[in-house]
Amino acid sequence: MQKLRIYGPTRLQGTIPVSGAKNAALPVLAACLLADAEVELHNVPSVQDIRTMLRLLEHLGVENERLGDAVILRPTGRANPDEAPYELVKTMRASVLVLGPLLARRGHARVSLPGGCAIGVRPIDLHLTALEALGAKVTIEHGYVEARADRLQGCRHRFLKPTVGGTENLLMAASMARGTTVLENCAREPEIVDLARMLTAMGAVIEGAGEETIVIEGQDRLGGATHAIIPDRIQDGTYLIGAALTRGDVTVDGARSADLAPLLAKLDEIGAQVEVGDDHIRVRNDGVLKPRSIVTEPFPGFPTDLQAQYMTLMTQAEGVSTVSETVFENRFQHVPELVRMGADIRIDGTYARIHGPAALTGTSVMATDLRASACLVLAGLVARGETTVHRIYHLDRGYEQMESKLQMLGGRVERID
């Protein structure tokens, strides 16, 4: 199994390009199940989760061809199963995103229940209730969700709470339902806006993506499209946190400041210099970091996917800060590993208290999930000596060549078998 070895401390300095957003590309790829013609996607990141989704699409009858950062997808026209098997869903929860489009286009879908994952229980009940509101008959048997509907029927539905995947599944399903669907209390993440742009390019009629209420006029057919995936705000945010953490100077070319507003506001508050240009973000820090607390929330709040990385940053601030995780119930698994590196962090449920600054030292640490892996790599950059991060297959699910980007910034990081 591969590991990352980091030699610290280092100062990150330089410019890196953005990568396409994994969390935007996954629903956009699922939407290709709705297209009756070729789709051309650009800025598709080369990460493990995307490879898993492409395999799932092949299994479902959409073939693909990769050309650099572009992927061309074509319906094969062959009779294919309408089923997402356990073997694929268990490695990637986002496989449930094929439920909505399969059901809307083919009238039937069978998708393995994703089950729990390291960061929490993560049910899909809100997806299912919303599909039922559109007229689907949903049953759960033998660990699979089975949904049927001759033709989904537009309706008004209010999500009990905002769900990113649920909003995306319903956007896709309603785009081919009969009549108008009004979705209320929707998630407002930039990835949802990107999916709506893609569906619109395919011929869907959608209003309000990025707001709480989205109105969708269902279509009888959706065609091909050409679409460029938005930049990955979580990857960009990770490197910008790295700049503040290592008292460095990092520019991310192509980054979108609106998508990163809550992080940039915090970086400014803690004393880093944030420069926002039309097509880049630069973060510098040459002084003392002030402690500032965060509460994770759905967009436009502070993203849960940057919580672990921000916590690493706060281990170097002068004083006490707190992190309150409100989105997932078990997202502090990085804390014991940070503590082993010398951090002073106390947890009380979904609330953490960090006393800084801590003199971190390198050791062997275990990654437990995607974003936790990134926070341990960041910790390795400021720790004295050698840090080895094990189980980096988590990292490879969502970070495109992290060691190469860190090397471009002067980080001493290597991948070892």
Contact 12, 246 (CB under 8 A): yes
Q: Which helix (H) or strand (E) holds 416?
A: strand 412-416
Q: Which helix (H) or strand (E) holds 333?
A: none
Nearer to ligand UD1 (CB atom), residue 189 or residue 337: 189
Q: Least distance to ligand UD1 from the beta carbon of 372, Å?
A: 12
Cα distance between residue 315 and residue 60, in whole Å: 46
* Closest among 19, 16, 41, 3 to 398, alpha carbons compared: 19
Cα distance between residue 326 and residue 410, in whole Å: 35
51 φ/ψ angles, rounded to the nearest 5 degrees: -60, -40
Pick out residues in 190-229 that bind ligand UD1 (CB under 6 A): 191
Q: Among 17, 81, 123, 143, which residue sits at the site for ligand UD1 (rule: CB under 6 A)?
A: 123
Task: Tokens 């004295």: give the residue.
Answer: 384
Q: Does 175 bind ligand UD1 (CB under 6 A)?
A: no
Q: Which stretch binds ligand UD1 (CB under 6 A): 71-79, 121-129, 263-271, 372-380?
A: 121-129
Instruction: Say how many residues touch ligand UD1, by CB under 6 A.
Output: 20
Nearer to ligand UD1 (CB atom), residue 136 or residue 317: 136
What is the per-residue binding string for ligand UD1 in 38-77, x denoting contact by CB under 6 A?
Answer: ----------------------------------------
What is the distance, to the nearest Å, from the Cα of residue 91 to the centroid of all Cα atoms in its chain?
15
Nearer to ligand UD1 (CB atom), residue 126 or residue 379: 126
Q: Least distance to ligand UD1 from the beta carbon of 203, Å?
A: 24
Please say if 186 is a catalytic residue.
Answer: no
- Given 32, 117, 155, 375, the catalytic residue: 117
Contact 292, 266 (CB under 8 A): yes
Cα distance between residue 26 and residue 48, in whole Å: 11
* Structure token digits, residue 8: 């610290």
Q: Least distance to ligand UD1 from the beta carbon of 304, Å?
A: 5
Q: Which stretch binds ligand UD1 (CB under 6 A): 124-132, 137-145, 198-206, 250-258?
A: 124-132
Q: Least distance to ligand UD1 from the beta carbon of 300, Å?
A: 12
Q: Does 94 bind ligand UD1 (CB under 6 A)?
A: yes
Q: Among 6, 11, 20, 23, which residue sits at the site for ligand UD1 (rule: CB under 6 A)?
A: 23
Q: Does 187 bind ligand UD1 (CB under 6 A)?
A: yes
SS3 percent helix, strand, coil of the chain, rounded to 5, is 35, 30, 35
What is the distance, to the nearest Å, from the Cα of residue 263 to the centroid of all Cα atoms in its chain?
15
Q: Least distance to ligand UD1 from the beta carbon of 69, Å?
A: 19
Q: Which residues sit opposite 388 in a β-bridge?
A: 5, 364
Q: Do strands 249-253 and 13-17 pair parallel, antiparallel, or not at all (unpaired)?
A: parallel
Pick out residues in 289-348 that bind ligand UD1 (CB under 6 A): 304-305, 327-328
Cα Rg for the chain, rounded, in angstroms?
21
Nearer to ligand UD1 (CB atom), residue 229 or residue 272: 229
Task: Tokens 């990460």: give the residue.
Answer: 47
Nearer to ligand UD1 (CB atom), residue 95 or residue 285: 95
Contact 100, 131 (CB under 8 A): yes
Q: Does 163 bind ligand UD1 (CB under 6 A)?
A: yes
Nearer to ligand UD1 (CB atom), residue 249 or residue 396: 396
CB-count burial class (<10 Å; 0-12, 13-18, 19+) for 65: exposed
Q: Least distance to ligand UD1 from the beta carbon of 129, Å?
A: 8
- Residues lying near ligand UD1 in the complex (CB under 6 A) are found at 23, 26, 94, 120, 122-127, 163-166, 187, 191, 304-305, 327-328
Catalogue the active-site residues.
Answer: 117
